[in-house]
Chains A and B, each alone.
Chain A
Amino acid sequence: MDQNRRGARASYVALTIFLAVWIFMPSTVRRFNREAFTEFQAPGLHLVSKSRDLARFWELKSRSSEEMALAGRDLARVNAALELKLASLDDVRRENTRLREITRYTVPADYMSVVARVATRDSSSWWNRIVIRKGRNDGIRPGAPVIFGNSVVGRVTAVHLTTSEVDLVTSPGFRCTAFLEGDDQNSIVLINGLAGNSLRTPQARISVIPNDYSTGTLQSPKAFTTGMGGVFPSRLVLGTVDLDSKATKPGSSFKEGRLNPSRELYNLQEVSVLVPLHQNPGEALLQGDQFQ
């Protein structure tokens, strides 16, 4: 009888120890080895991504000289058009500087642009991420916006020595505010990624759209960043708006819609990371947040 009681007590002790280990050990172990495992994987990702670039290089190199001449001619035309545009932009820049001097306008947070190649992509119902081949060594910090041209790609969520993880606009963890094209009242809407999109192009949700907003004559109005919150500069394109009547609850004073990203996010080869020269509130919020 005593032995049975002792055995039962021992099993409770074992269960308690097991539960304590189950609760406390994973976070401790993971905090300790997450960085180690990521750095262990980083050379592999670099190697694969660089071999992909090399294969592309040799593929281009094997093109005939006729093809290259045609491509060169097209590029010369594009160059000529861009030179004209550059000259007009120079005028705009001078005008901008003059107006800023007149109004004594203080320039918002400055950014340092870091161009990075995409190493790998990963997505599930709960995250849409890419890994880029630039990290802490290149000055990238968590929370920095990631763009391609004037379109938002996402936001840096984790930074390692030579790689960084970027949460895409369509990732459920992504949130930002936006203005809609064609909205004269400049109402602020909310954008956040959508979970559970299988076998479909990932999308984001647009909420808090005023009921009186209509796309009017615009076929696919765009959503732009507001510049509020200090993470994204203003007037970057987030994507095109698709008003979804089914998603709007009857009697609600707001509409909901879907955001189609302006770029094919899973075809990107290269992105720019805008690293703020000064720490912004978004970065501060990200520090220590493992899921963001």
Chain B
Amino acid sequence: MGWAWLIMLLATYPWLLGADLASDVLARGGFVVFISGVCIVAPCRRLRPIQAIPFAACVGFLFEARRPIPDGVLAFTLVAISIFLTANKPLLRNAPGLLRGAIISNTLACIAWAAATALALSTTEAPSSNSALTHFALQVALAALIGAALYIPISLVQNYAMDRIGVPPAADTP
């Protein structure tokens, strides 16, 4: 059980790799298929905070590893979201709540990395504000859509992995 977060990370990794490959396809338009926020919702419903936090941090650091974004912004945002979600499990007690959680969590995480990157890099490169803002809005909207579309398949895999390693099921009415 102590290694549940690591096993969950391995179970989630194919989705993260798949998102990177999908970003490859969308690279021409300048978009990233961002799913880091969605990936932490289902585990936060069942894992204990001590397990959910390293899991969320690792998902964040995996995204950051290949991209020039400020240190730890995404990882710490995901950790903050995971702390909130594990402390407020009643919010995730039913399917609509989980879906809402996935969309909000993915959107918040996406806003965090995009804004932090913009702030960190604008010291060296001032973009034309209109196109940068349009792009920012489109990227956030895409993240919300992806959150809604991919939550169910990702959570199915994650729940299956948690069942196999013996993580206790979440109470319907905690």
* Chain A residues at the B interface, C-beta cutoff of 8 Å: 22, 25-27, 29-31, 33-34, 37-38, 40-41, 44-45, 48, 120-129, 131, 157, 165, 172-173, 192-202, 266, 290-292
Contacts and interface: CB of A to CB of B under 8 A. Distances in A.
A192 B125 CA distance: 9
Given A22-B76, A194-B127, A125 B61 contact: no
Give the secondary structure class of B's interface: helix
A201 B27 CA distance: 10
B129 to A, nearest CB: 8
Given A41-B66, A122-B23, A197-B131, A29 B72 contact: yes
B62 A26 contact: no
A45 B14 CA distance: 11
Interface residues of B, number: 44
Contacts of B68: 126-127, 129, 157, 173, 290-292
B23 to A, nearest CB: 5
A122 B72 contact: no
Given A121-B24, A125-B30, A198 B138 contact: yes
Contacts of B136: 125, 196
Given A25-B72, A41-B62, A122 B67 contact: yes
A48 B76 CA distance: 29
B127 A195 contact: yes
A120 B24 contact: yes
A193 B128 CA distance: 12
Contacts of A127: 67-68
B87 interface: no
Contacts of B76: 22, 26
Most chain A Cβ neighbours within 10 Å, of B57, B124, B133, B139: B124
Most chain B Cβ neighbours within 10 Å, of A121, A173, A196, A201: A196
Nearest to A36: B65
A183 to B, nearest CB: 25
Nearest to A192: B125
A131 B27 CA distance: 12
A128 B72 CA distance: 21
B127 A125 contact: yes
B118 interface: yes
Given A38-B65, A197-B131, A26 B72 contact: yes
Contacts of A173: 68, 121, 124-125
Given A192-B125, A198-B135, A125 B114 contact: yes
B53 interface: no
A194 B133 CA distance: 14
Contacts of B173: none
A30 B134 contact: no
B30 A199 contact: yes
Interface string B26-55: 011111100000000000000000000000
B120 to A, nearest CB: 7
Contacts of B13: 44
Given A172-B127, A202-B30, A126 B24 contact: no
Interface in B119-174: 120-121, 124-125, 127-128, 131-136, 138-139
A133 B152 CA distance: 33
A12 B27 CA distance: 45
A279 to B, nearest CB: 22
B32 A122 contact: yes
B61 A126 contact: no
Given A26-B75, A34-B64, A38-B65, A121 B27 contact: yes
